[in-house]
Structure 1
Amino acid sequence: MGTPQGDHLGPYRLLSRLGAGGFGEVHLALDPEGRTVAVKVLHPHVAADTRALARLAREVEAMRRVRGRHIAEVLDASLDGRSPYLVTRYIQGRPLNAVVAVEGPVHGEELVRLARGLSEALMAIHESGVIHRDLKPSNVILADGEPVVIDFGIAAVVDSASVTASGAVLGTPGYLAPEVLEGQETRTEGDIFAFAATLAFAATGREPYGTGSVAAIGYRVVHHEPDLEGVPDWLAAVLRDCLAPDPAARPTAGEIHGRLPGVVGAAGPPPPKPRSDTFSRARIPVAPPAPAAGPAYAEPPPARSKADPLPPPVSGSGGDVHSLSTREWRPGQPDPRPPAEVAMRRRRARVRLIWIIGTGVVAALGAAAARSALPEVSLLLLAAYGSGVAIDAAVGLFARKDVGRALLSAGSGVGAVALFFLLSSIFSTFTLALAFATVIVVLVVLVVAG
């Protein structure tokens, strides 16, 4: 398959690696318009399976039509290159399993909000003709208290025999329905089972079918009742129906949503409205898809004026990275912070400027101090610094196409030579040697302190 070239993959600039799963590696990226997206690059054993890619390609067009405030929409796809990938809306938040691990089980209105949000997500997915196939706590992101489902539909590739043989994960034990474990095809009823298992975990903090080996958990799923102790009564009845061994006995996502209580005093954001954007293409080399409207983002909340301060982050109860809360930027919202790549570029430029000027001053001072007693050392210092800035200028001019960098490097070299002659003509050798020794001592102290 090959890896993405440099820090780009197609039109997307990769910023950082977010994680990896059974099907691919996820990167935080910027689209051509500077918006944050999540890019999932498929693993080599998946990309090498033409049958798997063909099946995924058939589902991508349906996946792109799935929209909702509780869905990380599929925005783009490229399945015909050396590095096949999918692009989805990036959700800033924490996975449900991480939230439960740090803060404990979900209770009260937060549990109601979670249940309603997941049921709405499944309604949107199933009404578009897509099956999630791998719903579990780690595929549910909590953003500002609302659940958002990620990675829906991509698990279609596991039905390819060669991908399965290559080691792709078929699913998570305890969240796969009994009929799936027995070899039947995954249908919407399997998502309902996974929905209930996910909510049971959220409400109790325990796996509904316990822990242990894959075989042991699978046996309990098929032959034992789930552990629902501690689940509120209003939810327990719904979960028992959803976890029924017979798929035909399970309710649909719409029926589940109708049985859940409402969220008190929280109307939630308005429903999403489709709008066209730059993601109207799908570079998929299978049968030409019928023209379809471009995917849409979930409708953003009203834009905040520049005078309004950002809301303060909510502190978590844990002491590690999972306890941190984040805010999601959505298209249409002003973001007072520069993009991550811009901030990093500015920081690199400042560090490089300080380094080039600082080393030039030290080299000129050392060369001036050694001019009388050790002329060879003086020449060596100037030559070493001059060679370094010349190489840096060449890299900036020819490799980076950065004329400003090249001019700065060349100017620093000329300035170091001029400073050498100026210091030599004004100060005595003893004074220059004392100054040079002082600078070296200060630098050593700074390095040790750092």
Structure 2
Amino acid sequence: MSTADRLGPYHLLSRLGAGGFGEVHLALDPEGRTVAVKVLHPHVAADGAALARLAREVETMRRVRGPHLAEVLDAELTGPRPFLVTRYVQGRSLGAVLAEGGPLRGEELTRLAGGLAEALAAIHAAGVVHRDLKPANVILADGEPHVIDFGIACALDSPSVTAPGAVLGTPGYLAPEVLSGGEASPAADVFAWGATVAYAASGRQPYGTGPPPAVAYRVVHHDPDLDEAPAWLAPLLRESLARDPAARPTAAELCVRLGVAAPPPVPAERRRRPAAPEPPTQEWRPQSRETAGQEVDARARHRDKVRRRWVVGSGVVSGLVAAAAHQYVPEMSLLVLSAYGVGVLVDAGAGVMAGARRRVVFDLVSGAGAVGLYAVLIALFSPFTLLLALVTALLVLVTVAFAG
């Protein structure tokens, strides 16, 4: 085994990915168990003050335990390649799951909301603030969420690591008080919980997409978009995304309202001692890891756009087919309109189950529009003209399909 494959007592197996602070490797510990080893980037390792702060945090982070946490197991922060070791969770990030399968529903969403609340409660009970909760930092394994990287962002927030005037975090998940230059507190984690769960429930970023400064502006000045969130969850999300930190529930209160067990508070002597306050931040700058979240949201929006185009396009074709067949085969007109109506009602029913009010309204308006188009066409045009129009439309559709 080459020395390049080893880091301290850990045997590195493969690279899992990279983030703002370092590269993550799958590794084996001395007992042969799989662990995740995060090797800090050189520019992070060069900041002695940040490493000293992280070393203090690690002692507390190692005491944080919970079924929804990737616990910190070990750390070596004094050598040429500083690293942290956490429990390895074999699964996929929440962002990747949403990109492939769309929003979570039913039991999946309930387990996510409760599990993340329980994880935050355990973190906060130890006096730690996550500061960077988002879909990329949530791993789903067998349907259960696991939070990674807790406490690291807070400990490594340093001008040498992030560049002067920067706020460490992700637009759309950073609380308004943090974007305005305030300190990240447990209430900021609750805000991130609300944004993460809202995204998982709807497949849409609650503060939209676009340039990071624009998203940050909407977080500070606008209300979140929760129209697609289920009715049972929307009130709790709205409270968690309140602009006033004092108006948000605590993580322990989230657990109570979601019916999960909050961990007992950690004795005061075991909590971390608060670090000296950092200079207030005056300007927010985007991080380089934001493209993944924007790509996930773009895919969700693309799926919704395709569905809307299908509803409208099939409505137009159905109305035209029914009108063209009205005089020659009246039964076919009724059959075509009925089939389209059933399809629209099924899609609207799915919208009702998901609590997507806009989707239901769109489907019902499209169904009525198809019937209205049919009535207008048979009133204004002759059957022969409609038949020619239908043939032309079908030829155009076939041409477009083969051209794509």
Q: Which amino acid aligns with 1:174?
A: G
1:10 to 8, 17, 35: 8
CA distance in 2, matches of 1:32, 1:167: 42
2:107 to 106, 109, 117: 109
- 1:7-66 Cα distance to aligned partner (Å, 9 max, x none): 000000000000000001000000001000000000111100011111111110110000
Structure 1 residue 203 corresponds to structure 2 residue 195: no
CA distance in 2, matches of 1:49, 1:115: 36
Report the Cα offset of residue 201 of structure 1: 0.5
CA distance in 1, matches of 2:139, 2:165: 26
Q: Hey, which of these two has a bigger chunk of helix by percent?
A: 2
- CA root-mean-square deviation: 2.0
Q: Which amino acid aligns with 1:183?
A: G
Matches within 5 A, 1:161-310: 161-165=159-163, 170-261=168-259
Return closer, same or farther for 1:7/1:167 CA change in 2, 3 Å cut-off. farther
Q: Residue 55 of structure 2 corresponds to which residue in structure 1?
A: 57
1:20 to 15, 18, 21: 18
Q: Residue 45 of structure 1 corresponds to which residue in structure 2?
A: 43
Report the Cα offset of residue 157 of structure 1: 3.7
Report the Cα offset of residue 220 of structure 1: 0.2
CA contact (8 A) 1:119 1:256 kept: yes
Equivalent residue pairs, number: 262
CA contact (8 A) 2:128 2:151 kept: yes
Q: Which amino acid aligns with 1:76?
A: D
1:75 to 61, 66, 73: 73
Q: Which amino acid aligns with 1:93?
A: G
SS in 2 for 1:25: strand
CA contact (8 A) 2:53 2:155 kept: yes
Q: Which runs of 5+ in 2 are unaligned?
A: 264-404
Report the Cα offset of residue 167 of structure 1: 11
Report the Cα offset of residue 158 of structure 1: 4.1
After TM superposition, the score normalised by the length of structure 1 is 0.56
Structure 1 residue 32 corresponds to structure 2 residue 36: no
Q: Which amino acid aligns with 2:183?
A: E
SS in 1 for 2:233: helix
Return closer, same or farther for 1:215/1:251 CA change in 2, 3 Å cut-off. same
Q: Residue 385 of structure 2 corresponds to which residue in structure 1?
A: none
Report the Cα offset of residue 5 of structure 1: 4.4
Q: Residue 146 of structure 2 corresponds to which residue in structure 1?
A: 148
- 1:150-209 Cα distance to aligned partner (Å, 9 max, x none): 110110244312212189881111000001001111111110000000000000111111
Q: Which amino acid aligns with 1:202?
A: A
Q: Residue 428 of structure 1 corresponds to which residue in structure 2?
A: none
Q: Which amino acid aligns with 2:79?
A: G
**Bigger radius of gyration among the two:** 1
Q: Residue 325 of structure 2 corresponds to which residue in structure 1?
A: none
SS in 1 for 2:192: helix
Q: Does 169-178 or 85-94 show the bigger shift?
A: 169-178
Return closer, same or farther for 1:127/1:261 CA change in 2, 3 Å cut-off. closer
SS in 2 for 1:88: strand
Matches within 5 A, 1:312-351: none
Q: Residue 268 of structure 2 corresponds to which residue in structure 1?
A: none
Report the Cα offset of residue 257 of structure 1: 1.1
CA contact (8 A) 2:11 2:29 kept: yes
CA distance in 2, matches of 1:153, 1:233: 32
Report the Cα offset of residue 261 of structure 1: 4.9
Q: Deviating runs (4+, > 3 A) in structure 1?
A: 166-169
CA distance in 1, matches of 2:257, 2:38: 35
After TM superposition, the score normalised by the length of structure 2 is 0.63
Q: Which runs of 5+ in 1 are unaligned?
A: 272-450
Q: Residue 84 of structure 1 corresponds to which residue in structure 2?
A: 82
CA contact (8 A) 1:22 1:169 kept: no
CA distance in 1, matches of 2:237, 2:164: 34
Identity of aligned residues (%): 72
Report the Cα offset of residue 109 of structure 1: 1.2
Return closer, same or farther for 1:166/1:90 CA change in 2, 3 Å cut-off. farther
